[in-house]
Amino acid sequence: MRLELGNFHVKDIAFGDTLSFKDGVLTINKQEALDFIMEDDRITEADLYIAKPGDHIRMCPVKEAIEPRVRPDGRGLFPGYTSELKKCGEGTIHALKECSVLVVGKHWGGFQDGVIDMCGEGQKLTYFGQLNNIVLVADTNEEFERYEQQKKNDALRRAGHKLAEFIGGAVKDLEPEDTEVYESTPMTRRDAEIEKLPSVVYVMQPQSQMEEMGYNDLVYGWDCNHMLPTVMDPNEILDGAMVSGSFMPVSSKWSTYDFQNCPEIKELYNAHGKTINFLGVIMANLNVALEQKERAAIFVAQIAKSLGADGAVVAEEGYGNPDADFVGCIVALEDAGVKTVGVTNECTGRDGKSQPLVTLDEKCDAIVSCGNVSELIDLPPMETVLGELEALARDGMSGGWAGDEILGPSVREDGSIILENNSMFCGDQVLGWSPKTMKEF
């Protein structure tokens, strides 16, 4: 499979008369975009903003991030979800780089929503503080979940995915500034010199713990709770086959943007033919019941062994209950003779002294840590808040609280906030670009 990513590098974003891209400037007709968003009658109010690195802007509650893209051949951006089901992973797609569409609730947040700062100390705690962002701030008529801590956020998330494709239309017929090519070949038909290299699989564990549909990550529009571990071509992941869900404390979450740009897949591609034979992706899942976890681990291990993998990298979306899936998968791979490295964050408590994962095993002797979800963060006020900052304290957002005997409320009267790392939107970046780690002093 051959996938060509035609890149257009966004240096600035502005509102103007037409949707266009020229000399690094993305121009958006704001009213035209809002009219498109409001075609979904569940959206009751919406507005668009621009948030660039260095702006004194704080966003809360942030629900999703998507890279604006479009397919020149007219196929939908997220097959099986926002468009007709079609195969991903081959052909040409145009992408607006250094840019994302962010979806922010106008009022109501929940367990799975987070915070992004565009400047100051908080900016470095989430990748999206470094990007030029088109920010959709909206509310819906989904009253049935307004006061629920756990929200599906379906109307808002779908609006963001569709808006990303709408904005991507600015570069549909343009010539890319540069092109990334990802070409995969059949795992059993590779050059003899490549076959001599250590064979490696990448195991992804997207979030799928909710048995009720509508919360979990999707693969070709299919809820990952319904799937057993399977083999996927890495190009499919980079090309829109995976869509982020609405479940998981948000620093541990993988946004759709993360799937579209997965650095670990790209790095494995870079190493292919040089130091490793990159076989591809085993797409697993994260379950609730112990038997489900054990079954998934058995499947992952037998697939890896059947493919002839010498090594594996396992990435976990989440912590707590999913740690059992993560550790169980690593143990099963090691028992099958596949040397395994795990990538995850940790939950070591505010003092850093608690057990990092819910379950541990001596075979998990190569773990890459992306930081502590419980680390306390104290941030000053921002000039502008997009959304409703009170959601951090009021709506059960992970890492925020209404009151604490020692620390007081998460949201102070002057607009400053204190929160756990848990609340930083996709802040731990387990898929490969986290600047954080754990250190022992």
pLDDT digit string (tens) for 333-384? Answer: 999 999 999 999 999 999 988 999 999 999 999 999 999 999 999 999 999 9
Closest CA to 322 of 293, 363, 350, 281: 293
d(CA 426, CA 434): 10
Alpha helices in 169-255, H assignment, sequence order = 192-195, 234-238
Angle at 31 between CA 29 and CA 37, to 5 degrees: 105
3-state helix, strand, coil in the chain (%, to 5): 25, 30, 45
Please state the φ and ψ torsions of residue 279, each to the nearest 5 degrees.
Answer: -75, -40
Longest dimension (CA), the chain: 66
Dist. CA 230–CA 252, nearest whole Å:
23
CA distances for 70 relative to 85, 170, 245, 339, angstroms: 16, 9, 21, 39
Whole-number mean pLDDT of the chain? Answer: 96
The domain locations on the chain are: 2-423
Q: What is the pLDDT of residue 381?
A: 98
Q: For the segment 414-436, what is each residue's pLDDT rounded down to a tens digit?
A: 999 999 999 999 999 999 988 77
What are 50-91's pLDDT values in tens digits? Answer: 999 999 999 999 999 999 999 999 999 999 999 999 999 999
Q: What is the pLDDT of residues 87-106, one digit of tens each?
A: 999 999 999 999 999 999 99
**8 Å CB contact between 341 and 366:** yes
Neighbours of 281 (CB within 10 A): 23
Whether residue 441 has pLDDT greater than 70: no
Each residue of 148-178: b (16+ CB within 10 Å) or e?
A: eeebbbbbbbbbbbbbbbbbbebbeeeebee
**Stated pTM of the model:** 0.97
Measured distance CA(119)–CA(121) in Å, rounded: 7
> Which two three-digit tokens encode residue 14?
């502005």
Residue 441's contacts (CB-CB under 8 Å, 6 or more residues apart) are: none
Q: What is the mean pLDDT of residues 216-240?
A: 97
Give the count of beta carbons closer than 10 Å to the beta carbon of residue 94: 25
Q: What is the pLDDT, as a whole number, of residue 141?
A: 97
DSSP H helices, 307-390, are 322-335
385's enclosing H/E stretch is strand 384-387
Which residue type does 226 have? H
Strand, coil or helix: what is 393?
helix
Four-CA torsion 44, 47, 51, 55, nearest 10 degrees: -110
ω into 61 cis (within 30 of 0): yes
